[in-house]
Amino acid sequence: MAKLSTKKINIADYSKDNQADVAKLARSLNPLMDDLERLFRGGISVDDNLPFQYITFTVEVDGSNDPKTSIKITTSLTTTIKGCIPINANSDSNFPNGALGVVCIPNGNQIEIKKVFGIPANTKFNVTIMVVS
């Protein structure tokens, strides 16, 4: 993987007529480039910098894909929840039987799981979703 390498704005690379304007830009952009390089060298992570959270819950659905028990999950997200994206489903004895889908209803920092598609009825599954805010 290529490493991020930035080039600083060097005022001397520009004509005398433009150096004053370029110097104004350089005062803002050169420190920004330093910060970006430092972030990438230090291991910037998506988990730490984007507004989402992975949550795993256990669910057993009936023949209509409704959870047999009410599932309400509290998130640590502080901004408005936009929705849920299913990531994975697993069980000790079964496999998903179709495309995984989740219907979730956000309410503040809580989510209610209304439907789970793609898993067989009457079998407990651990389902991982990505909650996006």
Percent of all residues in the chain with a pLDDT value above 70, rounded to a whole number: 92
**How large is the average pLDDT for residues 91-102?**
90
Q: Is the pLDDT of residue 103 over 70?
A: yes
Same domain, 128 and 78: yes
Regarding whether 127 and 92 lie in a shared domain, the answer is: yes
Look up the pTM and report it: 0.67
Contact at 8 Å (CB) between 51 and 132?
yes
Task: Name the token pair of 21.
Answer: 């304007």
In a domain, 3, yes or no: no
Q: Are residues 69 and 111 in the same domain?
A: yes
Q: Quick one: which H or E segment has residue 11?
A: none
Residue 88 is predicted with a pLDDT of 94
Same domain, 80 and 125: yes
5 lies in a domain?
no
Judge whether residue 91 has pLDDT over 60.
yes
Predicted pLDDT at 47: 64
Measured at the CA of 117, the angle between CA 127 and CA 94, to 5 degrees, comes to 60
Average pLDDT, the chain: 89
Q: pLDDT of 20-71, one tens digit each?
A: 999 999 999 989 888 888 877 777 666 666 789 999 999 999 999 999 999 9
pLDDT for 99 equals 92
| Phi then psi dihedrals of residue 125, to 5 deg | -130, 145
Same domain, 60 and 20: no
What is the per-residue DSSP string for 23-59?
Answer: HHHHHHHHHHHHHHHHHHHTT--HHHHSSEEEEEEEE
Domain count, the chain: 2
**Which residue range forms the structural domain that includes residue 62?**
47-132
Residue 6 lies in a domain: no
Is the residue at 61 inside a domain? yes
